[in-house]
C-alpha cells in the first residue's frame, strides 16, 4: 500500500513500489507518481554512491602521490645539502691551491733573486 511505501521512505528504503492495477483516476496518477519518485530517489542514491566511491579512490591516490612527493622532496633536500657541502669543499680546495700557487710564485721569485745575486 501507499502508506507502507511512504513509511519505508522514512527508513531510507526506496525500493518498494505500489501496485496500481485496478485503480483509476487521480489515485492511480498519485500512485504512479510515488513509484516514479521511488525510482528517481533510488537512482540519485546510486549515483551518489558511485560518486562517493570514486572520490574515495581518488583521495587514496592523492594521499599516495603526496607521500611520493614528500619522499622526493626530502631526497632532493638531502641531495642539495650534499651538493652544498661538496661545493664548500671544492671552494676550500681552490682557495688553498691559490694560496699554494702564490707561495710557490714567491719562492720562485726568491730563488730567481738568489740565483742572480749569487
Q: CA-CA distance, 66 to 70, in Å (whole number)?
A: 6
Tens-digit pLDDT profile for the chain (118 aa)?
888 998 998 898 988 999 988 989 999 999 999 999 999 999 999 999 999 999 999 999 999 999 999 999 999 999 999 999 999 999 999 999 999 999 999 999 999 999 988 6
Residue in the block written with cell 581518488: 58
For the entire predicted model, the pTM comes to 0.59
Given this model, what pLDDT does residue 2 score?
A: 86
Given this model, what pLDDT does residue 117 score?
A: 86
Given this model, what pLDDT does residue 106 score?
A: 92
Given this model, what pLDDT does residue 90 score?
A: 97
Q: Which is nearest to 28 in space by CA: 16, 39, 18, 13?
A: 18
Amino acid at each position: 500500500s501507499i502508506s507502507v511505501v511512504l513509511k519505508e521512505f522514512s527508513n531510507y528504503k526506496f525500493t518498494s513500489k505500489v501496485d496500481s492495477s485496478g485503480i483509476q483516476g487521480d489515485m492511480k496518477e498519485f500512485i504512479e507518481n510515488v513509484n516514479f519518485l521511488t525510482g528517481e530517489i533510488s537512482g540519485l542514491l546510486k549515483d551518489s554512491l558511485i560518486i562517493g566511491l570514486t572520490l574515495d579512490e581518488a583521495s587514496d591516490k592523492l594521499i599516495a602521490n603526496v607521500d611520493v612527493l614528500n619522499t622526493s622532496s626530502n631526497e632532493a633536500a638531502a641531495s642539495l645539502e650534499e651538493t652544498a657541502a661538496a661545493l664548500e669543499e671544492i671552494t676550500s680546495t681552490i682557495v688553498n691551491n691559490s694560496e699554494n700557487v702564490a707561495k710557490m710564485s714567491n719562492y720562485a721569485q726568491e730563488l730567481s733573486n738568489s740565483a742572480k745575486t749569487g
